[in-house]
């Protein structure tokens, strides 16, 4: 791996998961976040930073235009998927979207980094607690929600490297750890 190589990183996730906030943590102050609107009508935000080209967009509600995404998927080095760990209402939808992405031919074998974001919130789903675990601190009963890695069936993924990283993009915590994993696992 050349030190000067530009890595193409896709940051995906439902709207409101915290993708833009992650991007802000990764970009330095002089890096300008650009909004690109390709003709197909979806928004891509991008930034060049520290040898990375980071492209992000929301995946919810964009199923019909997915065929156009292949142009962006092509040549992706790492896929980052951001989850709002506290949004129990949309956890199923999040899992479905991730599972569809993992079936995309253009993303086959691409290492996957899942940011279990918003861990600063009390209700956030713990990234790696055993299924059925409920912290006594939690005000809501999370028993019916298996932990994220299990819910998304990451443990049965054999066709790519993957990592789940708890973080709070808002506080800037956990992001660097995720990027360290990424740097080690990019092919």
Residue 132: helix, strand or coil by DSSP? Answer: coil
**Stretch 136-155 residues interacting with ligand GDP (CB under 6 A):** none
13 lies in the binding site for ligand GDP (CB under 6 A)? yes
Q: Which of 16, 49, 76, 185 binds ligand GDP (CB under 6 A)?
A: 16
Alpha-carbon gap, residue 18 to 29, rounded angstroms:
18
Quickly tell me which residue has 């193409």 as its tokens.
Answer: 8
Question: Nearest 5 degrees, angle CA 17-CA 19-CA 21?
Answer: 105
Selecting among 30, 62, 139, 147, the annotated active-site residue is: 62
User: Does 163 participate in catalysis according to the annotation?
Assistant: no
**Stretch 51-80 residues interacting with ligand GDP (CB under 6 A):** 58
Q: Which of 7, 44, 88, 121 binds ligand GDP (CB under 6 A)?
A: 121
Residue list, annotated binding site for Mg(2+): 20, 39
Q: Which of 10, 12, 19, 112 binds ligand GDP (CB under 6 A)?
A: 19
Quickly tell me which residue has 């235009």 as its tokens.
Answer: 65
Q: What is the dihedral of CA 82, 85, 87, 90, to 10 degrees?
A: 60
Q: Residue 115: phi, psi to the nearest 5? A: -90, 110
Alpha-carbon gap, residue 54 to 142, rounded angstroms:
33
Give, for 10, the enclosing helix (H) or strand (E): strand 7-13
15 lies in the binding site for ligand GDP (CB under 6 A)? yes
Cβ–Cβ < 8 Å for 51, 4: yes
* Closer residue to ligand GDP in complex, CB, 26/78: 26
- Residues 80-99: x where in contact with ligand GDP by CB under 6 A, - otherwise, as a string: --------------------
* Closer residue to ligand GDP in complex, CB, 20/62: 20
Least distance CB 168 / ligand GDP (angstroms): 4
- Token readout for 80 is 């980052």
18 lies in the binding site for ligand GDP (CB under 6 A)? yes
Active site residues: 62
Which residues would be at the binding site for ligand GDP (CB under 6 A)?
13, 15-21, 58, 117-118, 120-121, 168-170
């Amino acid at each position: 791996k050349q030190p000067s190589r530009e890595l193409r990183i896709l940051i995906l996730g439902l709207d409101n998961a915290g993708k833009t906030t992650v991007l802000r943590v990764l970009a330095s102050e002089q890096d300008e976040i650009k909004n690109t609107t390709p003709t197909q009508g979806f928004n891509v935000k991008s930034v060049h930073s520290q040898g990375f080209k980071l492209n992000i967009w929301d995946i919810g509600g964009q199923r019909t235009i997915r065929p156009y995404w292949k142009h962006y998927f092509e040549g992706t080095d790492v896929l980052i998927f951001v989850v709002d760990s506290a949004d129990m209402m949309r956890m199923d939808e999040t899992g479905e979207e991730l599972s569809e992405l993992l079936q995309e031919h253009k993303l086959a074998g691409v290492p996957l980094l899942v940011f279990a974001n918003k861990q600063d919130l009390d209700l956030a789903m713990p990234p790696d607690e055993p299924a059925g675990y409920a912290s006594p601190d939690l005000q809501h009963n999370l028993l019916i929600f298996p932990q994220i890695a299990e819910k998304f069936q990451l443990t049965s993924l054999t066709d790519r490297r993957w990592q789940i990283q708890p973080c709070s993009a808002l506080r800037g915590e956990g992001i660097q750890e995720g990027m360290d994993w990424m740097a080690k696992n990019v092919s």
